[in-house]
Amino acid sequence: MKGTIRLGIIGGGQLGKMLIQSAMDFNIEIHVLDGDAQAPCRPLAHHFTIGNIEGEQTVIDFGQGLDVVTVEIERISVRGLEYLQQKGIKVYPQPHALRIIQDKRLQKQFYAEYQIPTADFVLTENKEEVKKLAQKWLPAVHKIGKGGYDGKGVVVLNSEKDLEKAFDAPAVLEKKVNIAQEISVIVARGIDGQTSVFPPVASVFNPELNLVDYLIAPADISEKIVAEANELAVKIIEKLDMVGLLAVEFFLSESGDLLVNEVAPRPHNSGHHTIKACYTSQFEQHIRAICGLPLGNPTQHTPAAMINLLGEKGYEGVAHYEGMEKALQTDSVFVHLYGKAITKSGRKMGHITVLAPDKNELMQKITQLKDAIKVVAK
Ligand code: ADP
């Protein structure tokens, strides 16, 4: 292993911040590119460049001279990354995989091509087309091809009266699934092709904000579904021919089918508990994978839950964490604040990991903590 690896991270948000915290243990020199001068990574990076991550030349200028370049967000210039790769810089995840994942339309076509189970879909170009397809497809979910994130870019079309909400842009129209559980599996793949999966986690959503409220790991699902999810996660990362981490989000339908919803080629919100609950965290695993090191042990040693600290509805301004002192009095509660100065309704401001020896105690702690902590503005 090289004494000091120069690693570039494109995107300077909370995922980058936690990646840096792990990279420090490997004596890695960190370079970060982000458009926001106040990005969470800034105080931790050795070198911080302010620039547009979607700008081809900006990405090229940033990556020149580095050993490895990675991303903590999908919306980046793939062409810039392709250029860096041609110049011999290691770019993980590889640009060809990012190009597919950036566009939900290409993602769905990829699943169809490799017989990976996913909700039935049809590609749509504009709103008029959705209206014509309504009779056959409703109830459905309409998803914009490029640029959506955290539930923005997704609308549920239950009946004809919802059709005006459809996107007037290239999108995917998907059959609405009767979801029993949403689970995700994070898989890592090294440069040598070795793969390793973290135990599945179950996400519980906040229906109002369409964001994860909390998650439980490991998910309470049968061995058969665990095996199926692991197998699909490995198949996807291999077919994408990708190095690094891939978070695979699944729907487990009420009729027992496991369907792939979407993937993210980077550390993921559903893997934050791995910092405290697994022998190797998702962040360390990503570093190991992209730096050509052996993958670590992903085994989970303690049941865990992760609660997102979302900006309270109706508050915008300098963040204040109400009830934090009380939460910290509870045993095995770990706080991660992302360092975003300003809170907004639904903004991801931090998370809390909770460990407990069994599921009952875990649920009790989650209920207490969710009531205790509020991110407000003062
Ligand atoms: P994003 O990329 O913004 O996270 P997703 O595709 O994950 O968007 O969709 C957000 C949420 O919308 C999902 O987690 C799920 O709760 C719901 N959803 C998405 N697709 C479907 C579907 N086909 N059927 C039912 N619910 C869906």
Q: Is the distance from the beta carbon of residue 139 to the nearest atom of ligand 1 less than 6 Å?
A: no
Ligand 1 atom nearest the C-alpha of 151 is: 3
Pocket test for ligand 1, best of 141, 177, 257, 266 (most atoms within 8 A of CB): 141
Decide: 247 and 186 in contact? Cβ < 8 Å: yes
Mean pLDDT of 299-309: 96
Residue 148: predicted pLDDT: 81
- Type of residue found at 90: K
SS3 readout for 287-320: HHHHCCCCCCCCCECCCEEEEEEEECCCCCEEEE
The CA 167 to ligand 1 mean position distance, Å, reads 15
Q: What would the two tokens of residue 170 be? A: 């290239």
The CA 292 to ligand 1 mean position distance, Å, reads 34
In our burial notation (b when 16+ CB lie closer than 10 A, e otherwise), range 87-120 reads eebbbbbbbebbebbbbbbebbebbeeeebebbe
Q: Is the distance from the beta carbon of residue 141 to the nearest atom of ligand 1 less than 6 Å?
A: yes
Residue 370: predicted pLDDT: 85
Summarize pLDDT for 253-270 with one digit per residue, the tens. 999 999 999 999 999 999
The CA 151 to ligand 1 mean position distance, Å, reads 7
- CA-nearest residue for atom 19, ligand 1, is 141
Summarize pLDDT for 270-279 with one digit per residue, the tens. 999 999 999 9
Summarize pLDDT for 60-99 with one digit per residue, the tens. 999 999 999 999 999 999 999 999 999 999 999 999 999 9
Q: Is the distance from the beta carbon of residue 177 to the nearest atom of ligand 1 less than 6 Å?
A: yes
Residue 371: predicted pLDDT: 81
Residue 284: predicted pLDDT: 98
Ligand 1 atom nearest the C-alpha of 150 is: 3
Q: Is the distance from the beta carbon of residue 153 to the nearest atom of ligand 1 less than 6 Å?
A: yes
Summarize pLDDT for 102-152 with one digit per residue, the tens. 999 999 999 999 999 999 999 999 999 999 999 999 999 999 999 887 778
Largest CA distance in the chain: 62
Distance CA 91, CA 371 (A): 43
Q: Is the distance from the beta carbon of residue 154 to the nearest atom of ligand 1 less than 6 Å?
A: yes
Q: Which pTM was predicted?
A: 0.96
Q: Is the distance from the beta carbon of residue 149 to the nearest atom of ligand 1 less than 6 Å?
A: yes
The CA 246 to ligand 1 mean position distance, Å, reads 18
Helical residues (DSSP H) of the chain, grouped into ranges: 14-23, 56-63, 78-86, 95-102, 104-113, 127-137, 223-239, 274-277, 282-290, 324-328, 359-372
Q: Is the distance from the beta carbon of residue 34 to the nearest atom of ligand 1 less than 6 Å?
A: no
Summarize pLDDT for 221-265 with one digit per residue, the tens. 999 999 999 999 999 999 999 999 999 999 999 999 999 999 999
Q: Is the distance from the beta carbon of residue 103 to the nearest atom of ligand 1 less than 6 Å?
A: no
